[in-house]
Chain A
Amino acid sequence: MSAVGSRARRSASFLRPGSGLLILPPAVWVLAVLVAPIVLIGLYSVNLKTNLLGVPTAFSTANWKDFLPPGPNPFWDRFKISMTITLVVSVITVVAAYPLAYFLAFVAGKRRYALLMVLLAPFFTSYLLRVIAWEVILNNHGVINSLLWDLGLRTRGDGIPWLIYSKFSVGLVLFYSWVPFVAVPMFVVLDTMDRSLIEAAHDLGASRLTAFLRVTFPLSIPGVIAGFVFVLIPTTGEFITPLLVGGPSSFMFGNSIQSFFTDTPNWNYGAVLALWLVAIVLVMLVVFGRYLSTDLEDAAT
């Protein structure tokens, strides 16, 4: 007994060498790849570091003052437009993904995991390639316009002007890209939902619609919010899609950041925009985090 007990204690000791040690690797990781770069960007944003030759490094909030209201600033306007695009795309994506998740969880039966893989199949190809594929479809001489010309619905050579290089094309491609990803958390919640609650609702006389509205949907809200956050946060900093299928008036805030760090190498101004975006994402995480369960399965049951 004592030997077994001793072995068990050693085993427990091995698994719990101390919370400090266990937390050390992730803490180092977070510090190195998340906190340190943000601090570095912070230094650039107040001109304590610079990539500009001949510009002295001295604390300055000039770039912040230039960017933040009330002064007129196109980047601030671009931020507002980007957030509008992001919010609209996020809402539409969630609305579209919910029926998919519902179908997989309640209708697809044993084939649901196979169908889930089919749904996720586009993720096995490069994001860039998927966006470029849309360029081929939406282009003035692309699949849709060519079809309209062949059907005689538009004059040959006259493409729908807003089909590509517009806010529409940016929104459409973002929507397409994120629908499968958004469906997953909703599927997890719906799939693991306690079905006896729905059966109880029916037993008490609730119609299918009432049971859905009063039981199924409220219980799936953590998944809905998780899906919403999954699309909202990455698209907030999106720049590839607007770069490839967006026009000059549909660039997003992320394009300005990317451009300041590459095409127009003014890291100091770019750092202000980047840090602002980080702050917005953190606020969103705090706001939506309140409604998210860390265990979606628990939330559903």
Chain B
Amino acid sequence: MTILEWDGYQAAGTKAQTTKGIVFGKDYTDEFGANGLAYSLITNDSQAIGKVRTGSKFDLLHPCAENFKDYVDGGFVQPFDTSLLPSFANLNPALVKGGQFNGQQYAIPWDWGYGSVIYRTDMVDPADATGWELFWNPKYKGRISMWNGATTNFEIAALKLGFPEMDNLSTDQLDQATQALIEQKPLNKRLWVSEYTDLQPMLTNGDVWIAYSWQDQWVYGREHKPPIPFNFMQPTQGRLGWYCGFMLGKDTANYYHAHKYVESFINHQACLSLTNNFYYGSSDATVKISEITDPLLAKSLSIGDPNVLSDTSKVHLQSWEPNEVAVQTAWEKVTAA
């Protein structure tokens, strides 16, 4: 099977998966071995849909919710047969619903998390760290690193500028957000590309004090020896929220294998492994706080609350953008400016 996947999320049992204690994917590789699995890796959502739009075929894909509709509308995927997924019944209904199109289950939700500002509390004045505008603070020029993720940066700019619909910007709002990002760009040390080989080292060794990140880096900092003084901000404008899931390639010749593979990721132990090893939330609604090894992480992820991504006063779910191409092109203008 060929799988479009984020680096680091390869199934346990494959050579590429080197994190100890990982369980997701293990049931599949235990039963069928790892030799039949091939991964095509992505570093951002635009790249993922780009690969598919330009003709690459995959048996399984692991995109995020903001692009689910693009895959369905483009005819790149087919619905799952949920009766072949024993653990499907345990999944968070709110996330499951987001994967339904035309009454069919096109996406099986698996991982979710927050996106926000992570900063070094030993370097950044707490009075400055209140909201997304921290990225625009010239006091920290050269110590900031935003993600090289086109649409996410426009969502951040939209929240900073106070636009109510961050994923449906008008032409005028898009121009304003573009200008804001062009003004912000020189403050960055670098636009990070890879979370583990790019962002993490820069934050850890102090080259960068302020960055866009997901909550896993905050846990990483706390578990680091010695601990790195990170804070994962709850901006006044709210955090970003996201969830991703598996989609089934339209022309897959491995229909049943693909279901087996997905089941090996959404079963209870696999979902626990996702949270305890990778510090992300999972779609398994049966996970209990007591099963999470890090109580602070469990609290942060509001384990047990199925509507965790619905409270818009705290989190803004990254959603499908009707003008995605215009946003992506605007991001290219920002990087070229």
Contact of B333 among A53, A74, A165, A243 (CB under 8 A): A74
Cβ of A103 within 8 Å of any chain B Cβ, yes or no, is: no
Question: Does chain B have a CB within 8 A of A155?
Answer: no
Which listed residue (B70, B190, B207, B337) contacts A159, Cβ 8 A? B207
Cα–Cα distance between A263 and B148 once the two chains are bound (Å): 9
- Summarize A's interface: helix, strand, loop or mixed: loop
For residue A130, CB closer than 8 A to chain B, the reply is no
Chain A residues within an 8 Å CB radius of B336: 74-75, 77-78, 251, 256
A248 contact from B44, B49, B186, B206, Cβ within 8 A = B186
Rounded to whole Å, the gap between the CB of A77 and the closest CB of chain B is 7
Contacts of A269 in B (CB 8 A): 329, 332
- Contact pattern, A 62-91, Cβ under 8 Å of B = 1, otherwise 0: 000000000000110110000000000000
Assuming the contacts A53-B73, A140-B207, A256-B336, asked whether A264 and B185 have C-beta atoms less than 8 A apart, the reply is: no
A122 is an interface residue with CB less than 8 A from chain B: no
Q: Closest A residue to B146 by CB, please name it.
A: A248
Q: How many residues of A contact B (CB 8 A)?
A: 30
**B254 an interface residue at 8 Å Cβ cutoff?**
no
Say yes or no: A264 contacts B74, CB within 8 Å.
no
Contact residue among B54, B331, B337 (Cβ-Cβ distance under 8 Å from A51)? B54
Contacts of B188 in A (CB 8 A): 247-248
Known: A52-B325, A53-B74, A74-B336. A264 touches B150 (CB 8 A): yes
Complex CA distance for A21 and B71, rounded to whole angstroms: 48
Chain A residues with CB under 8 Å of B332's CB are: 75, 256, 259-260, 264, 266, 269
Residues of A within 8 A of B (CB): 51-53, 74-75, 77-78, 139-141, 157, 159, 161, 165, 243, 247-249, 251, 255-256, 259-260, 262-267, 269
Residues of B within 8 A of A (CB): 44, 46-47, 49-50, 53-54, 70, 73-74, 142, 148, 150, 182, 185-186, 188-191, 193, 205-207, 325, 328-329, 331-337
Some 22 contacts from A to B, beta carbons below 8 A apart, are A51-B54, A53-B53, A53-B74, A74-B182, A74-B333, A74-B337, A75-B332, A78-B336, A139-B207, A159-B207, A247-B189, A247-B190, A248-B190, A255-B335, A259-B335, A262-B47, A262-B50, A263-B44, A263-B47, A265-B53, A266-B332, A267-B54
